[in-house]
Structure 1
Amino acid sequence: MNQKKSYPGKVYLVGAGPGDPGLMTVKGKTLLEHADVVVYDALVSPAILQTISPRAEKINAGKRRGRHSKLQSETTELLIEKAKTNAVIVRLKGGDPFVFGRGGEEMIDLVRSGIAVEVVPGITSGIAAPAYAGIPVTHRLYNSSVTFVTGHETTEKYRPQVNWQAIAMGSETIVIYMGVHHLSKIIPQLVAGGMSLDTPIAMIRWGTRPEQTQLVGTLETIVAQMTAEKFEAPAIAIIGKVVNVPSLIAPYL
């Protein structure tokens, strides 16, 4: 990104991927090895944090439900301040910084403040977590469309809510980020939009990590299953016929 800058430092918005350190890009890993400062999120796995240069200043700016260590505005101000006195500042985000990661907001604020910014994409959990569970988000026999949508909305949005009924009518596969705590409210809207209660759904927690777990059910059963199993965030939901693909290969494994 070519831009004028007012300070010597440069901020790299780096996607750490979903958790497995082997899925992080070579460029992202190289930046962690040479960074002066790393400001990281809560969902960045410990294995990836261990690859950060020992000389780098490490700052936790993670946000988890009910436990925000820093406000978004405070994180941006921190990045600006670090860019005034350091050369390489890595803003390390789980998944991809531009996929429900607030990377776009941070980029705009940084550039407006005269800070040079470069974006290093990462593999998003909405693709990687299903893949590790053997679920392809597209399959030509089952779907020709997939929708990625957040199940957790902020009051500072451009519109008040996701139109779940429209999504149900317009997409054969739906991948929901951050939807665990709202799934009981989302499902009735999907059904009202025409989805059958028999529609398969998979919930995948800690995708691509050694502790990855999953639940498979239907729109009718999944909330009760989650309650019984005490299934908690962070997790991705995949809805649609592609959820049944692993059952087709199970007899051969």
Structure 2
Amino acid sequence: MTISPDFSPAATAVTAVLGAYLLLGEPLLGRRMYASLARRRAIEPGALVRYFRVVLALWWALAALAAAALLLSPGMAAADLGIALPDKPAVVAVGVLFCAVIAVTSGRALRDLDRQGKHVPGRAAIEAMLPGTPRERALAVAFGVSDGICAEFVYRGLLIAFGVGVLGLHLYAAAALSVLVYAVAGYYQGRQGLLVFAVFGALLSGLYLATGSLLLPVALHVILSVRDLTTLTPPTPSAPPTASAASAAPLTAK
């Protein structure tokens, strides 16, 4: 895989600001938002719905900035950001099918552990985000899909291109830098989250570099994010507001 991204001055500025936010702002904001959700989830029935809506808005705002960087650079092709057909479509198709089978199989195993009251690896890190009502479940699916699409476009597509085209890094060094930035996003899950996001980010970056397209990384990310958020039961049953209440990413979902 080779890319030759030619960032315009405006696109360079947009991406630099976005990168600074991802490295310094996103980890702290994500940790604060998740901690707030964990505190409010049991006493505010609408807390998870509001959380999903805010995070969905943030994800698509970041993706819009990444798209703006591409549109502001006449000399840069969409393929430089991974928006292209894979080099070997048949291999990618098999990979997507394999990921789906693994997700279904592992999802059943996790659900069985959960129903038996046994320890589920990684559950505690995303417990507050587990949906309990049809509305929450629909938003959780939208969250998982958006997480996969937007995260790959921003962290893999844009940041790797920025590393090559602006910082002058070798493709693999730029990929390693993007993995580091992505790993920091797992800070909301604690130290273990940093490690999980680093490993998952390295896997996704490897798939991107091997196929020359974001298609397989996006598919894998979406499948696993949706699995993580829809397989396990929520910590407490969700219920309509009462009179008193009315007055008051290993799992990889991010």
Question: The TM-score by the shorter chain falls in which range?
Answer: under 0.3
Q: If each structure's strand is expressed as a fraction of its own residues, which one has the higher value?
A: 1
TM-score (norm: length of structure 1)? 0.26
Higher RCO (Cα < 8 Å, 6 or more apart): 2
Q: Larger % of helix: which?
A: 2
